[in-house]
Amino acid sequence: ECTYFTMKEIKRLYKRFMELSLLYYSPTELKKMSRPTLPPHIIATMAELKVNPFADRIIHVFSDDVNGCMTFEGFLNMFSVFNEQAPRDVKAFYAFRIYDFDGDQYLEHGDLLRTLERITRRSLKDEEAELIITKVLEEAEMDDDMKISFMEFEHVLSRAPDFLSTFHIRV
């Protein structure tokens, strides 16, 4: 109901979900399960997520239980947020949770450092990374607490026009 997909696309996604399930479960097991869940390492084999450095964070954010297993609703939700029709605030909300590695509703030094490492594959020197993190905090900060809350993050993204086009997976 709340996705940005058409009926046809939802059916196509369901087919892909079923194909992935068959990699993990046997067909008889699958028939018995009413709501199959997929473990994260199976979802990470999808072509769209395989080369993404944030694949594990994405799966974690959209998964339904502590182990990181995802039902079909979570699967659908994940791709509908990355759909090009999803509005900016929805994408910003989930982007914040993806970049928030320790899950404390703030993007602090540690979260930013790990984000940087992921996107540059550790090719930056330590002092360069520190400098970048300081600059980011300077630019985003509005209330001087050295961490980025969701409000500040959303405000900052409203000034970055490319966010909508890069935060987009075509499925």
Partner 1 sequence: MSLKFRHFKEDTRKLFASAKLWDYHLKQVEGNFGSGVHSYFTFLRGLFLLSIPSFILSFSFISIPQLLDPPARNHPEVKFTGEELITGANWFTETIMYYGYYTNGTIQTIPGSVYKMPLAYLLATAGYFLLCLLWLVKSTATSFRKNYIEAKEDESDFISKVFCAWDFGITSDDASKLQHTMISTELKEILAEKRRHKESRSSAKKCKVFLYRLVTWMLYLGITGGCMALVYFVNKELLNKIKIWGNIGYQISLALIISAINLVMPIFINLMTHWEDYKYPRHEMYIAVFRNFLLKLGMLAVICAFWTDGNLKSTHTNQTASCWETDLGQEIYRLVIIDFLFTIIFATFCAEFIRKLLTKCIPSLKLAEFSIVNNVMDLIYGQTLCWIGIYFSPLLSLIIIVKYFLVFYIKKVSVMQNCRMSTQRWRAAQSQTLFNAFLLLSFLLCAAFLCVVVFLETPSYDCGPYRGLNRSYDAIIIEFQRLASDESSYWFAVIMNVISSVWFLYSIVVVLSTAVVLVRSRSIGYRKFAKALREQIALEGQDKALLLQWL
**Chain positions contacting partner 1, by CB under 8 A:** 8, 47-48, 50-54, 82, 95, 99, 112, 115-116, 119-121, 123-124, 128, 131-132, 135-136, 139-140, 142-145, 156-170
Return d(Cα 51, Cα 47) in angstroms, integer: 8
Name which of 27 and 87 has its Cβ closer to partner 1: 87
Rounded to a whole number of angstroms, the minimum distance from the CB of residue 169 to partner 1 is 5
Name which of 64 and 88 has its Cβ closer to partner 1: 88
SS3 call for 22: helix
Rounded to a whole number of angstroms, the minimum distance from the CB of residue 33 to partner 1 is 29
Return d(Cα 19, Cα 42) in angstroms, integer: 11
Name which of 53 and 110 has its Cβ closer to partner 1: 53
Name which of 72 and 88 has its Cβ closer to partner 1: 88
Please list, in sequence order, all residues whose beta carbon lies within 8 angstroms of the beta carbon of residue 116, skipping any fewer than 6 positions away. 124, 129, 132, 133
Rounded to a whole number of angstroms, the minimum distance from the CB of residue 30 to partner 1 is 26
Return d(Cα 138, Cα 140) in angstroms, integer: 6
Rounded to a whole number of angstroms, the minimum distance from the CB of residue 34 to partner 1 is 28
Residue 87 C-beta-side C-alpha neighbours within 13 Å: 4
CB 148 within 8 A of CB 106: yes
